[in-house]
Amino acid sequence: MLIAADRTIPFLRGALDALGEDVRYFSADEFSAGKVKDADVLIVRSINKCTRKVLEGSRTKLITAASVGFDHIDTEYCDQAGIVWRNAPGSNARSVAEYVLACLTVLALRNGDRLDGKTVGIVGVGYVGKEVERLCEAIGMKVLLNDPPREDAEGAKGFVSPDTIAAEADVITFHTPLTRKGKYPTIHLVHNDFIEKLCRHPCLINAARGAVCDTDALITGRKRGKIGALVIDCWENEPHIAGELLTIADITTPHIAGFSADGKANAVRCCVEEISRFFNLPETRREEALRRIRLPHPFRPLIDMTDFPDRRIERAILTVFTPHTIDMSLRQDPSSFEALRSQYSHPREFSAYSILNATPEEALLLLRLGFSIP
């Protein structure tokens, strides 16, 4: 069996070595029909476009994506050609949720504001949306949920309409896949008509897929004051992002919300599991491959609350992750979008950190957010 894998996927090499198969690594620039034609398995990132042009005539039997999204895979052609494809749903859900909370924390501190008591509208309540819901409720926010497919399946209780979110939310964050067909397409969910209905000048966050938001509508809405703040991690036409949107957004990152070390490791585990299952590999090889996926220890695993003079909960959150550095790097050189992604220093999640000298009230809240209390 020949496995062709993107060489920039973290934690992959050691795991694949343990599977005992022939592995060929490629860069994004090298991903082509000629490179993959002899591969039985492809392990890809979202930047590796698995189109009919690339796949036709290959001997590929399985595509595993080390990502949640799968819009980079021509699933219709794969189904026709008998190529099985798998993504890694939920692998980076916690990472994205912590990114959202960190960005909201930055904005709250910047504006001298607080998050508790604010209303957040979550559009798309799957793996990621549920984690965002948990963190926002823990921090004291009121949560509104919008997810038409879930509402159809589960009933209307607990869900609200987009109009309700537009009218009542102080923050609106999007966590849907990108779909162009079906009953509820998500392409350009944020458009001029939706923005016109916004009543509370909310902060809008796109940490889903770029085309979930119409770029021109975002720019117009921000300039007119309908949108109070913009946090953009996912962009239309990545990596060729809109310069004007980059300029007017409050926080900008190069599609790295789900790039925690924990999330990346989870995605590689999914790939190993799918390959092992599909080819019925020996259990011992699968277990050894999973064992070799080792997460790095945080540089500062102990967070001492006495280090912070004020707003101690917020500052503990930003000790784990703050978007400031990568935001500045993207603004200084937008053409480095993909380089910033591939060279990103993947942070650990809250669960990797222990809190010292918290008050009982702080300890309870930090535990709910996912931190450890020794």
Which positions are catalytic?
209, 238, 255
Return the sign of the alpha-carbon dihedral for residues 232, 236, 241, 244: negative
SS3 content of the chain, % helix, strand, coil (to 5): 45, 15, 40
Q: What is the DSSP letter of 187?
A: T
Rounded to the nearest 10 degrees, the angle between the axes of helix 12-19 and helix 261-278 is 20
Adjacent-strand bridge partners of 122: 145, 173
> Are residues 206 and 189 in contact, defined by beta-carbon separation less than 8 angstroms?
no
Distance CA(227)–CA(204), nearest Å, equals 7
Name 51's Cβ contacts closer than 8 Å, sequence gap at least 6: 74, 77
Residue 207 has phi, psi (to 5 degrees) of -125, 40
